Structure 1
Amino acid sequence: MSQSRRARVRPHRLAIAVAALLPAASVLAQQSPTETAVADSTTTQASASTLDTVQVTAQRKVENVQDVPVSISTVSSEKLDVLGSGGNDVRFLSGRVPSLNIESSYGRAFPRFYIRGLGNTDFDLNASQPVSLIYDEVVQESPLLKGFPVFDLERIEVLRGPQGTLFGRNTPAGVVKFESAKPSQEFGGYAQLSYGTDNMWNFEGAVGGPLTERWSARVAALYQRKEDWVTNTYEPGPDRGVEGYDESAARVQFLYEGDALEALFNLHKRHLNGTARLFRANIIKPGSNDFVDGFDKDEVSTDGVNFSDLDTWGGSARLRWDLGDYNLYSITGYETAESLNRGDIDGGYGAVFLPDSGPGVIPFASESADGLPDHRQITQEFRLESDYSGPFNWQAGLFYFNEDITIDSFNYDSLTAGNPQAGHAIQQQENTAWAVFASGEYQATDKLKLRGGVRYTQDEKDFSASILEAAPFGAPVGGPYTVNTDVDDVSWDASAVYAINDDVNVYGRVANGFRAPSVQGRLLFAAADAPNGGVSTADSEDVISYEMGIKADLWDKRARLGFSVFRYDVDGQQIIAVGGGSNTATLLNADKTTGQGFELDLEAYIVDNLLVTLGSSYNDTEIKDRNLTVPGCGGGCTVTDPPLLDPVTGAATGRYYINGNSLPQAPEWVHNLTARYGIPMGDGSELYFYTDWAYRSEVNFFLYESVEFTGKSSLEGGLRIGYGWDYGNYDVAVFGRNITDQTRIVGAIDFNNLTGFINEPRTVGVEFTARF
């Protein structure tokens, strides 16, 4: 275990914390729901000083969050408006609810989600993640689909812990659910326009209403743009400016409401034209995780081409038949994506063997691109749900998933005029899976409800990869290299909710989760003698999670509390060793990984017009595999893990033991705070002040621990001052995002030099909203 490993919170301390909290909450509680929840847009405020019930669909039906035995957070529509004011993408949710982290080495195109420390740092377009993203009841499996813009939403739900029974598609860490605002028979909509720093424009709007007595429709659209805010100071460089974007998205929905049939049809599309993640050479001071002296976030010197093009579109049909004591559901989804993302991986210009290069040492030039020329995903679910008046109800169903994907990987010669192509590899995969599932709940007594579920899944992948054009210093032309996986698994969960009184519920849950095998085929820089051309495979992983918590309303519904503690064990966790001297990516299975911690959500009216929310989580993760080693950095970092020595010579091999390390991109602490104070001005108008803050502790960027590749703790805040009138129908505000202009290294490229990438800069702007 490395010297930097901190002392751990032991399970018995967490149990003591829960035991201490339960009687206190029981005494203080006054009225109804929650878990780790913040009111969603379906919730209307009863008065200026009380909170209303939060409704969620964590169990595939609408329920009071207090009754659901899962650790859940939801995000309110006003909070989404505030966080998205600066034109940010889905990553603005990172740290805004307990135990959630989101990062990307692709920029806006490819978000990577982590819940309770479980995620996947793999940058391959074929990567699978243990956090499933469900958009309008359709799973978004490809990482490129998970970045669909956040606009015109009814609610966001974050479900922590394995959700393998009812959702089932790669959910061992949890689920993030997005629900769009639906059409209705009432005409209405909104328009929102903001302008800010670096010529940032952000527009979103929606309009909907009845078409006939049975049909209604809703159309929503978003447009975001921002000019390049970073200047490329390398004069021969192909790009003079970087970090801008131009993005648009639209969604149209039609709803049919018959006597026994409800049908919702959805079409959606996204277009992104902007900058790929900007890598900056040698920005980390050796021997520390500080910026080098003289670092200027507004400048870069690179000789590579940088762009990100992405187009996605899809549709779904959600049907519900009312059969009396039963409801029958059919959910059909289709998604497709096409992309090309190109960047300067070495983050600088030239090379050390040339007369001029920099910034710092550039051992050799590296410029690459990954593209998705062909992609198709089809999903189908049938689900039958009982609607009895008695104590027992159930639901059961079938699920089918099929995905075809083709990935192009290119290498380019940055040292030759025009940056010509100098390497091409291709990956192809077909993934077919099906599942059958059942879940039931039983009201055992007036106070005790029991739930349980089971799901059988069969998953098959057919994969092939070939090198069509060899990159310099890489493997020769070859292939196809093939892999076939075919596995099945049974996931399950069991839980109980007990009502201490009308205002306080406690719950316990045990759940098992499963992730199917993953295949990785980044071949351009693989060694010539690499097994199967450099294709690597990780076997299935299984998670068992234990959780208990309390949900309560306090002080005559002026406050709402959610608290949970958890422990999980992962057998065979899929992890990936990225970078090293050859810039490879290799899938591995760790023998075991453990995690434990707690999550807290509190929402309260401190005084009648001051609403405060507080979220906090602790996640202690540890890799437990005494024999597992990974390559160390190729860019001169200071690795603090024990080295693997040659058994004959005793010399260092360049590999390091990672037993005892925390998981990458898994902060131990996440805190978030919001405060809104309103001053009524009469005649339905209000002056308000809103501030929000998000903190995360330090993180490891990679599987090994090193001084340089440890991200510092981060604290970002926002401020909004607004005036609303006509009873909330109109609003004008000034806002600031990252108001302290904090600059942090949030990720790194490991193989060439101390290259990293940073967070978004401060944005200041104005916003106008009209609702009708």
Structure 2
Amino acid sequence: MSYPIDAARLLVAGSRADALALAVAMALLPCAAIAAPDADTDAAADATDLATVTVTARLGQESPKDIPFGLSVTRGADVEAGRLLDVQDVLRNSPGVEINTYGSANDANVRVRGVGSLNQVSMDDGSVVMSIDGVAMSARHASLATFDVDRIEVLKGPQGTLFGRNSEAGAINVTTRRPTREREGYVRLEAGEEGQHLEEAAVGGALSEQWSGRIAVRNAGSESWIDNANDGKPMIEPTEQAVRGSLLWSSGATSALFIAEMQEMKHKAWLELLRPFGDAPSLDFAPGVFDGNRKKVQRYSVEINHDLDNSRITSITARTVADFRGTKGYDRRLTQALYGMPMEYLVPDTSNEQVNSQDLRWSSLPSARVFWVAGLNLTKSERSFDSLYLSTGDQQLRDFTTDSYGIYGETTVPLADKLKLTAGLRYSWENKDYKGLYLARGASVSDARKLSEDFATGRVALSYEVTPTTNLYAVLARGYKPRGFNDYTTQVVDSIPYKAATVNTAELGFKHESADRRLQLSGAVYENKVRDDHLLGYDFNTMAVSAINADTRSRGAEFEGSWRFQYGLSLSGGLSYNDAKITSSALGVSGGDVAAGNRTPDVPHWSGSATVSYRRELQPFWGLATPTFNARLAYRNIGARPIDAQNHLNLAGYEKVDLRVGLETGNVEFYAWADNLLDERYDMYLNYSRPDVITGAPARGRTVGVGFRYAF
């Protein structure tokens, strides 16, 4: 598989940054040419890459080939080499996954294979659940940093059996690196254009005969490529700090893993510009208006495992706390276009979420011929979401409480020598309380509502071993997304609960892994039918917000694979086709009625990615005893897709190319990177108010930088 690259665009005379990127590449590439092919060297270089990969997509250790549904796995080494700095970046590189975010730390809307909220109605309305080290979190936290991770799995199709609520479309399973008995770690430093910097380190090892520990830290930041028209400085300068500590106690058949993590993001903001953006995009705000934006997420968990003779008991107790403050709004240019009056229209939102959870399960051991797991999950969530309209003084103060209980089980049993049956079922109960206070023009109105419901989710699958290296599978699954309350209500009438959403999915696929693990291929065709998915309507002119339901349908196909050739060359990538449509009309939506037959927003017909990597040990030079050259060229293509459920207009497709070249010697690596190498000026998102008022934000252009990594 190959893709044309316009070489002329690479050779256009430009900034010193372009010259730096080309100079680094030219300096390193000749070194690669002096190396002679050596099969033994290849084997040594690939030893780590070809290690057996296991996943925990079904709460136990399995080979990806044996999982009877679609699954994409990104290893920690690929996360780092690809500079996938947060979960959102990983999702954008996963076939069949779409993510819409406006740049804030709290607004990610994830769709898998065209399934997911048409627009997210609340933080509780996650069609995709995110699990970090076995702790379920909202996909709203997809902006969290990917530091010191072991792997990230994207599970496709309803995952309500094992991952429970809010997994109507799929699940994101993040596993961080755990303490080991060996003393090891790394230091990683980066610096690049537009203030980009990253400092990251981790260290771990044995602390005593029974205790091991690991600690990882990250500090990062950058400058916005959108300037403030008043002082010419970057509109925002977002930063992030993160720390994670892990302690592992092990004694015989019992182990306990304690994890404490904190991540804090500052100054991230929803930047919305009046289109056209111009060559030097800017906003007309008072300087520092977004300096108070902040999100802090804390996670504490204890995982206890005890192995019996032929089974395992696991308990995960967790508490997460998320505090958010984010100012959003329109600048003077946009309000002039909308209302004929230049002013700053600002709305600070604040939220606090506290979630306590307990998962207790009994499962088979990884080597068992019959896979099975059964468990009980309890979750209690308390959160608030408040908004203040500075121009009018109006306020909305909202509090939400959710109690969720679930019992679940899944098994895979042999029906014949090569045929296996998988069946899973979960039954859930939910209670929700909502209280709101609305203050407008000196008057106040309060509101209180309650919801209770119970529901079943599950799946059944057949898998057939065509050969020892190839499996076929077919799966039917049912997912459910509970009823709830709109986070963005501005008046009591808008707080009427939205309906629950249900999805029925059929999928047929194959998975292949060669005996030497150099070739891995997977593919699937699928159909999803969703009833009453969630749609948030917003009218830019009146500020009215409504939560309405609409049916959708998506059909598509995916192909994903990787091939590690001889002589240090490897190729990986994926291709996705999706025909996603809204199948029922939705009338009375703020911002315009939605017609049956409209395309599902943010879902392109075609998307794909390809990565070419090369690694070669060189002849000694410059006094370096064992120099090794590596290079990684990544390509991503996203097709055109509608910007909203009304299909007012399409967001144009784009291509993005990233490059990384490095030189290793011993435990040290020096590297250079170029993000958006071809300087593609694509739109990240667009919003429609009326034909003459379209807003959005451009993506960052080409930037380059250098990095250093030391492992021990």
2:21 equivalent in structure 1: none
Q: Which runs of 5+ in 1 are unaligned?
A: 1-43, 284-290, 353-357, 414-420, 471-475, 527-531, 633-654
Contact 1:134 1:176 in 2 (8 A): yes
Distance 2:538 2:672 in 1: 42
1:92 aligned onto 2:110: no
Q: Structure 1 residue aligned with 2:432, among 437, 452, 461?
A: 461
Distance 2:357 2:135 in 1: 7
Report Cα offsets for 1:684-711 as digits up to 9, x if no partner.
431122110111111222110113xx21
Counterpart AA for 1:206: A
Distance 2:63 2:643 in 1: 38
Distance 1:362 1:618 in 2: 45
Report Cα offsets for 1:535-564 as digits up to 9, x if no partner.
142111111111111111359644221111
Counterpart AA for 1:247: E
1:268 aligned onto 2:227: no
State the identity %. Answer: 23
Contact 2:399 2:435 in 1 (8 A): yes
CA change 1:549–1:234 in 2 (3 A) is same
Report Cα offsets for 1:139-185 as digits up to 9, x if no partner.
01372x34221100010000000011111121110001110000011
1:15 equivalent in structure 2: none
1:299 equivalent in structure 2: 282
1:587 aligned onto 2:553: no
Distance 1:45 1:58 in 2: 30
Contact 1:50 1:559 in 2 (8 A): no
Report Cα offsets for 1:658-679 as digits up to 9, x if no partner.
2111211112212011001223
Q: Structure 1 residue aligned with 2:317, among 303, 325, 332?
A: 332
2:630 equivalent in structure 1: 688
Counterpart AA for 2:593: Y
1:370 equivalent in structure 2: 349
1:403 aligned onto 2:381: yes
CA change 1:215–1:412 in 2 (3 A) is same
Distance 2:427 2:614 in 1: 50
1:666 aligned onto 2:637: no
RMSD: 2.5
Distance 2:367 2:243 in 1: 41
2:17 equivalent in structure 1: none
Structure 2 counterparts to residues 732-743 of structure 1, below 5 A: 732-743=670-681
Contact 1:263 1:318 in 2 (8 A): yes
2:455 equivalent in structure 1: 489
Q: Displacement of 1:443 after TM fit?
A: 1.7
Structure 2 counterparts to residues 190-269 of structure 1, below 5 A: 190-234=186-230, 241-269=234-262
Specify the SS of the correspondent of 1:60: coil
Report Cα offsets for 1:382-439 as digits up to 9, x if no partner.
00113498754421110011110111101123xxxxxxx7222111000111001111
Deviates more, 1:441-450 or 1:385-394: 385-394
Q: Structure 2 residue aligned with 1:603, among 550, 562, 581?
A: 562
Contact 2:118 2:645 in 1 (8 A): no
CA change 1:579–1:346 in 2 (3 A) is same
Q: Which runs of 5+ in 2 are unaligned?
A: 1-42, 620-624
1:82 equivalent in structure 2: 81
1:562 aligned onto 2:561: no
Report Cα offsets for 1:604-641 as digits up to 9, x if no partner.
13453210112111111111114645344xxxxxxxxx
Contact 1:319 1:329 in 2 (8 A): yes
Counterpart AA for 1:666: V
1:679 aligned onto 2:663: no
1:714 equivalent in structure 2: 654
Q: Displacement of 1:108 after TM fit?
A: 3.6
Contact 2:76 2:151 in 1 (8 A): yes
Structure 2 counterparts to residues 32-181 of structure 1, below 5 A: 47=46, 51-84=50-83, 88-120=85-117, 122=119, 126-141=123-138, 143=140, 145-181=141-177
CA change 1:361–1:150 in 2 (3 A) is farther
Contact 2:601 2:647 in 1 (8 A): no
CA change 1:407–1:162 in 2 (3 A) is same
Matched residue count: 661
Structure 2 counterparts to residues 331-730 of structure 1, below 5 A: 331-343=316-328, 345-349=329-333, 351-352=335-336, 366-372=345-351, 374-387=352-365, 391-413=369-391, 422-470=393-441, 477-524=443-490, 526=491, 532-554=492-514, 557-590=517-550, 592-626=551-585, 628=587, 630-632=589-591, 655-682=592-619, 683-707=625-649, 710-726=650-666, 729-730=667-668
Q: Displacement of 1:189 after TM fit?
A: 0.5
Deviates more, 1:383-392 or 1:325-334: 383-392
Contact 1:243 1:278 in 2 (8 A): no
Contact 2:656 2:678 in 1 (8 A): yes
Contact 2:546 2:589 in 1 (8 A): no
CA change 1:583–1:89 in 2 (3 A) is farther
Q: Displacement of 1:589 after TM fit?
A: 1.4
2:181 equivalent in structure 1: 185
Deviates more, 1:300-309 or 1:716-725: 300-309
Distance 2:637 2:44 in 1: 28
Counterpart AA for 2:505: S
Distance 1:596 1:541 in 2: 18
Report Cα offsets for 1:240-274 as digits up to 9, x if no partner.
53131111001000001111211000000011111
Distance 2:208 2:194 in 1: 45
CA change 1:299–1:392 in 2 (3 A) is closer
Distance 2:227 2:143 in 1: 26
Q: Displacement of 1:298 after TM fit?
A: 4.1
Deviates more, 1:380-389 or 1:164-173: 380-389
Q: Displacement of 1:138 after TM fit?
A: 0.4
CA change 1:370–1:142 in 2 (3 A) is farther
Contact 1:375 1:403 in 2 (8 A): yes
Contact 1:126 1:520 in 2 (8 A): no
| TM-score, scaled to structure 1 | 0.81
Q: Displacement of 1:514 after TM fit?
A: 0.8
Counterpart AA for 1:277: W
Counterpart AA for 2:247: F
CA change 1:365–1:534 in 2 (3 A) is farther
